[in-house]
Amino acid sequence: MTYNVIVTPTADAEAMEAVAWHAERSTDAAQRWHERLTRAINSLAKLPTRCPVSQEDSKALGCEVRLLLYGKG
């Protein structure tokens, strides 16, 4: 079974901030980081249950929301 994955505006904004941070140091590193993040997000379509449910976001959005933690820190 394949699931529909939607990235929230907040998550997208945080990801773009991280890309910008990496780009200040190395554009190649920023590109690699973003590609890996995209693969991790896309992998949720096949196995979303490996990530915990965000109760607060699920309640606010009226659907099951999974929390994917990516990167260090």
Tens of pLDDT, residues 26-61 = 999 999 999 999 999 999 999 999 999 999 999 999
Q: Is the dihedral of CA 7, 10, 12, 18 positive or negative?
A: negative
Tokens of 32: 């690699």
The reply to whether the predicted model has a pTM over 0.75 is: yes
CA 48 – CA 61 distance, rounded (Å) = 17
pLDDT at 54: 93
Share of the chain above pLDDT 90, in %: 84
pLDDT at 12: 95
**Whether residue 71 has pLDDT greater than 90:** no
